[in-house]
């Protein structure tokens, strides 16, 4: 998620004029002034353009809520500071939240459940994408509201495909054939990759396309070391052996030299945060987007990510914080203001289905993909399991240092241990 966040921040574009310029205090304390105005602290780790987008939203809220004034505070190392603040009386009132953290932090009793507040205000959970709601839920309690949703889709270079006489691939078989045909080498050196294979974190999406799953339903152990996992790595292996990609091909490339934007990669499975990047830096790039190719048995799968807003349990102004959270996420007009400000798909379903998205040739394929996109497993140990066990072993496989069987076996052994350790805590 961290690479996703970095790209999203860089890709987001400002689209509104009103920006609030409040100072950034380091304290998270809340206060009420003598005139009865409640002052809220809103913590997040987006800076730069992302910070300005947040300030646009706080300015809009503050203008229509004179008795509640929200200040956005940028926090580096936000999780560590949040846990410390939660026990020291310095907790913020609202936090910007990477949703997949919920399973790990809800058990720590630092987040406020919102079910009763939703019920009191008659806001149905169905107003939001179900998978995003599920990612914010732990042990049957909802701990936040979805702010953004995203889904991986296949971005392709129209000129490259036209030159090769092929259509955007819809299946694994078509993807493999297209990737091989689109690849270009000069004197044995890879100069154009048919498909970017840089992100081994997409293994879970390919695995689901193959009909598999990453962990057991009860989160007790891994489930990827089997026929579906081997099928996934066999696909990767065939493309690597055909010369489609080589480890490190995109290493060190920034936004302006992004391999897809500059035509060094013909196809890439990525998310909507890159639409703006490719439009900005792809001077000669004409690209299209289609849902991810389906697997051998026709299974469709995409990976959903995104963010939410949560209210810390230790916050001192929870009612006012709730007004801010529901205003931003549950009301379509405000969700649309956010969408147009940040160019993120809102977690509010009605807003996401607005013609702003559904009528746009770049956004519509992503909106369509959201219908079957799934979150990562909502297990406390899943994030460290993927980051510490799965991805490093898959990287060794991509570099040709271990076989598919070895990579999966080592990832299983290490991953089971991580899941067990987290289940005990």
Q: Stretch 315-328: mean pLDDT, rounded?
A: 97
Q: Per residue in 120-133, pLDDT tens?
A: 999 999 999 999 99
Same fold, 2-150+305-374 and 152-303+378-424: yes
Residues 6+ apart with CB under 8 A from 227: 212
Residues 6+ apart with CB under 8 A from 247: 395, 398, 399, 400
Residue 248's pLDDT is 87
Q: Where are the domains of the chain?
A: 2-150+305-374, 152-303+378-424
Residue 20's pLDDT is 32
Of residues 272 and 9, the one with the higher pLDDT is 272
Residue 26's pLDDT is 36
Q: 2-150+305-374: what CATH class? A: alpha beta
Q: 152-303+378-424: what CATH class? A: alpha beta
Cβ atoms within 10 A of the Cβ of 4, count? 20
Please state, rounded to an integer, the average pLDDT across all residues of the chain: 91
Q: Is pLDDT above 50 for 28?
A: no
Residue 423's pLDDT is 76
Q: Stretch 142-162: mean pLDDT, rounded?
A: 98
Ordered alpha helix ranges (H), 65-183: 78-88, 102-105, 115-120, 130-135, 158-164, 172-182
Q: Stretch 168-181: mean pLDDT, rounded?
A: 98
β-pairing, 38-44 vs 68-74, is: parallel
Q: Stretch 161-179: mean pLDDT, rounded?
A: 98
Distance CA 264, CA 267 (A): 9
Full-prediction pTM beyond 0.85? yes
How many CA atoms within 13 Å lie on the side-chain side of 282?
A: 24
């Amino acid at each position: 998620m961290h690479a996703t966040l970095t790209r999203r921040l860089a890709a987001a574009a400002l689209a509104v004029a009103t920006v609030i310029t409040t100072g950034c205090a380091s304290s998270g304390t809340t206060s009420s002034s003598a005139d009865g105005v409640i002052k809220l602290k809103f913590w997040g780790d987006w800076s730069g353009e992302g910070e300005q987008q947040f300030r646009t939203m706080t300015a809009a809220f503050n203008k229509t809520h004179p008795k509640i004034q929200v200040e956005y505070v940028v926090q580096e190392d936000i999780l560590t500071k949040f846990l410390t603040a939660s026990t020291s009386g310095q907790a913020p009132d609202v936090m910007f939240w990477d949703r997949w953290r919920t399973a790990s932090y809800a058990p720590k009793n630092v987040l406020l459940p919102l079910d009763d507040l939703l019920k009191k205000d008659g806001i149905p959970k169905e107003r939001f994408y179900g998978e995003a709601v599920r990612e914010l839920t732990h042990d049957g309690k909802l701990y936040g509201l979805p702010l953004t949703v995203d889904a991986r889709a296949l971005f392709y270079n129209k000129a490259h495909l036209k030159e090769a006489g092929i259509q955007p691939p819809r299946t694994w078989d078509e993807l493999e054939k297209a990737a091989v045909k689109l690849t270009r080498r000069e004197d044995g050196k890879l100069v154009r990759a048919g498909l970017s294979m840089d992100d081994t974190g997409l293994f879970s999406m390919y695995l689901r396309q193959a009909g598999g799953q990453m962990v057991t339903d009860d989160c007790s152990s891994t489930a990827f070391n089997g026929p579906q996992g081997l099928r996934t790595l066999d696909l990767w292996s065939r493309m690597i052996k055909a010369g489609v990609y080589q480890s490190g091909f995109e290493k060190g490339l920034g936004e302006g030299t992004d391999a897809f934007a500059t035509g060094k990669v013909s196809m890439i499975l990525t998310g909507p945060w890159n639409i703006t990047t490719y439009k900005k830096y792809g001077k000669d790039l004409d690209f299209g987007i289609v849902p991810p190719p389906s697997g051998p048995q026709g299974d469709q799968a995409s990976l959903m990510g995104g963010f939410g807003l949560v209210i810390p349990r230790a916050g001192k102004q929870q009612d006012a914080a709730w007004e801010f959270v529901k205003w931003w996420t549950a009301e379509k007009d405000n969700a649309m203001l956010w969408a147009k400000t940040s160019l993120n798909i809102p977690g509010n379903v009605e807003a996401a289905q607005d013609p702003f998205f559904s009528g746009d040739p770049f956004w519509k394929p992503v909106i369509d993909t959201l219908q079957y996109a799934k979150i990562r497993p909502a297990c406390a140990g899943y994030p460290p399991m993927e980051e510490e066990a799965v991805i490093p072993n898959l990287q060794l496989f991509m570099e040709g240092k271990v076989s598919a069987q070895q990579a999966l076996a080592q990832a299983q052994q290490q991953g089971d241990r991580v899941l067990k350790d987290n289940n005990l805590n």
